[in-house]
Amino acid sequence: MNTKLNRSEWHRSIYSSRWTSEGVNSLEVMEPATGELLDIVGLASKHHVYEAAEAAVSVQRRWADTAPGTRAAILRRAAALFEERKPEILEILMRESGSIMPKAEFEFASVISELHEAAALTTQPEGLLLPSGSPTRLSIARRVPIGVVGVITPWNLPLALAVRSIAPAVALGNAVILKPDPKTPISGGLIIAQIFQDAGLPAGVLSVLPGGAEVGDAIVRHPDIPMISFTGSTVTGKMIARIAGESLKKVSLELGGNNALIVLDDADLERATSAAAYGSFLHQGQVCVAVGRHIVHRKIAAQFAEMLAARAKNLPVGDPYRENVALGPIISQQQIEKIDEFVKSTATAGARLLTGGKYDKLFYQPTVLTDVLPGMPTFDYEVFGPVASITVFDDDEQAVDLANRGDYGLSSAVQSRSLDRAIAISRGIKAGMVHVNDQTIVYEAHAPFGGVKNSGNGSRYGSPTNHEEFTTLQWVTTNEVIPAYPF
């Protein structure tokens, strides 16, 4: 078997039961660091969604009936193929999404973990033995596949955020139609299609359809796609929930976050500012669980701000594929202008800019703002860029109140030398995840991942929640003979 990626397969093509260019438009994939053309792939239309759904429905039942060990073996084989092709995949992640090497390595490792965790799902208990009102009736609740799952993913961690839905869905007997973001169609989808095909996944179980809003809308509305797994913006997620709700579809939403890091007055400032810089500036802040708001005790706020700004000034920015840098490019001109507007409007509102606030081409300097108050843009909204906003508090109750301000509730963190004090504060934080003596970008494939409020509809990803998320309970009763009834 070929141990390298076959890039010619996805050139001007999509994957729907097979590689095809029939009726497919062209999608140019650009390298944000240089503006160079990386490749031309296929751009799907809603017509391809209908074709993929028909194929998925026809094959899904047979796939669900496939022995659990066989399904698990395909997932483990996919993990092995990812490992064999790792150097090429890391290159594509760096060039297509602007990842620095450590971020690409982190994302890749997450994919391998997801595949192995999903393989283990196939042999987990499938249901419950229930008590029955009749001594002759056997009553069970068994978990059965939902059917066809539509997966819509973003560009920031394109590979990992696709596999974390595809792997458990497929492991549990579902078929999947994936729409990767058109900014990252290769790392976000076409690589996955090729590896699963080479691993032996039957045709039709997975389709990969790069496309825009038309394709996403068709997936959400299609009557034969009973579940939607979406990762992306809160605005789009709410729109998907409204449309899917009309058809009573199951919807899994992991949305935006403006995550809070609370730093208490007894924290180790050297370690705290290191973690804070990582949390705000990894992948240029283009991570839903990045630290947006640094909520710092007044006693240490000035020193914290000075140390964080010094770290930011020392972080090199540039082309992550050709240079040794800490930050790569922002994904697009539209996004970098949005980031800059957040920074400028927050400074105009009274915050102090300690460092950054400048950009060249698609490279935005790591930025630190202090004296940020509720009501200012970077406090209230998700920036999705390398911007750290510092807000001061005076007591623990105020820290919790500030952390809970706003519409988001994805990730959070608390730092203190007093573990009891930090844990007490963490109990009051309204977020899907909280990390004590850490920063907010923490991910493990076996742990539940998700948010509350405008950050999503709960901890949907991560075993064992994946087993519940991608199946539905079916009540089954059996009798040796038909009971006697009075009619």
Q: Which of 167, 157, 203, 209 is nearest to 185 (CA)?
A: 209
Share of the chain above pLDDT 70, in %: 99
pLDDT given for residue 144 in this prediction: 97
| Tokens describing residue 334 | 């539209």
Q: Where in the chain is the domain with CATH 3.40.309.10?
A: 259-436
- Per mean pLDDT, which range of 50-54, 71-75, 134-138 is the poorest? 134-138
> Over 60: is that where the pLDDT of 48 sits?
yes
> Over 80: is that where the pLDDT of 2 sits?
no
Dist. CA 258–CA 382, nearest whole Å: 5
| 31 is an active site residue | no
Q: Are 98 and 331 in contact (CB under 8 A)?
A: yes
pLDDT one-digit tens code per residue, 280-324: 999 999 999 999 999 999 999 999 999 999 999 999 999 999 999
> Over 90: is that where the pLDDT of 459 sits?
no
Quick one: average pLDDT of 82-101? Answer: 98
Share of the chain above pLDDT 90, in %: 97
DSSP string across 452-485: EETTBSEEEESTTHHHHHTEEEEEEEEESSPPP-
- According to CATH, the superfamily of the domain at 259-436 is Aldehyde Dehydrogenase; Chain A, domain 2 (3.40.309.10)
**Confidence class of residue 458 from pLDDT cuts 50, 70 and 90?**
confident
The active-site residue out of 254, 323, 337, 468 is 254
- Placement of tokens 């595949």 in the chain: 115
> Over 80: is that where the pLDDT of 463 sits?
no
The active-site residue out of 51, 96, 107, 288 is 288
- Write the class of the CATH domain 7-255+456-475: alpha beta
Quick one: average pLDDT of 353-375? Answer: 98
Quick one: average pLDDT of 106-122? Answer: 97
Quick one: average pLDDT of 347-358? Answer: 98
Q: What angle do CA 199, 200, 205 make, to 5 degrees?
A: 110
Helix/strand/coil for 327: strand
* pLDDT, mean over the chain: 97
Is there a cis peptide before residue 182, judged by omega within 30 degrees of 0? no
Question: For residue 49, how many other CB atoms are within 10 A of its CB?
Answer: 27
pLDDT given for residue 137 in this prediction: 95
Q: Are 276 and 439 in contact (CB under 8 A)?
A: yes
Q: Which residues make Cβ contacts (< 8 Å) with residue 455, sequence separation at least 6?
A: 234, 254, 255, 256, 257, 288, 408, 409, 410, 431, 432
pLDDT given for residue 427 in this prediction: 97
Q: Where in the chain is the domain with CATH 3.40.605.10?
A: 7-255+456-475
Dist. CA 300–CA 294, nearest whole Å: 12
Dist. CA 396–CA 399, nearest whole Å: 5
Q: Which of 412, 449, 86 is nearest to 255 (CA)?
A: 449
Dist. CA 20–CA 29, nearest whole Å: 18
| 323 is an active site residue | no
pLDDT given for residue 312 in this prediction: 98
Quick one: average pLDDT of 103-129? Answer: 96
Instruction: Tell me 3's DSSP state.
Output: -
pLDDT one-digit tens code per residue, 404-453: 999 999 999 999 999 999 999 999 999 999 999 999 999 999 999 999 99
Q: What is the CA radius of gyration of the chain?
A: 24
